[in-house]
């Protein structure tokens, strides 16, 4: 299984190549200390999020959380069916992404 730090590193390199990490807020300043221990993954993902370069899995998880919230609040059969369909679609897409990552990690 690929560590989150490796995924973050790959995403940072891709975002850097696309120029998404230039002129960011706080550039050249030390990173703020948050929590205890090594939080390199959290800092890396925060930087990616601020640059709009989250990994596909993270984006799908975020959409899935919102879709499940909408499903829980849906009223009426039509709204519940539509929301349920969206949740199922996102779950399937997330499962495909996770399987692709697992297969990639084996090599």
CA distance 68 to 85: 11
Q: What is the mean pLDDT of each run of 10 residues along the chain (107 residues)?
A: 72 82 79 60 75 81 93 94 95 91 75
Q: Tell me the three state secondary structure of residue 35.
A: coil
Report yes or no: 8 and 44 within 8 Å, Cβ to Cβ: yes
Distances (CA, A) of 2 to 48, 64, 99: 18, 22, 12
pLDDT value at residue 39: 65
Question: Between the CA atoms of 8, 49, 22 and 25, what dihedral angle is there, to the nearest 10 degrees?
Answer: -130
pTM, full prediction: 0.53
């Amino acid at each position: 299984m690929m560590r989150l730090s490796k995924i973050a590193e790959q995403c940072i390199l891709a975002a850097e190549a696309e120029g998404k990490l230039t002129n960011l807020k706080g550039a050249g300043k030390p990173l703020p200390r948050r929590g205890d221990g090594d939080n390199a993954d959290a800092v890396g993902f925060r930087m990616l999020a601020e640059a709009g370069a989250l990994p596909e899995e993270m984006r799908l998880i975020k959409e899935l959380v919102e879709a499940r919230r909408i499903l829980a609040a849906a009223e009426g059969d039509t709204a519940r069916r539509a929301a349920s369909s969206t949740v199922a679609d996102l779950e399937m897409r997330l499962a495909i992404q996770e399987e692709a990552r697992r297969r990639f990690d084996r090599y």
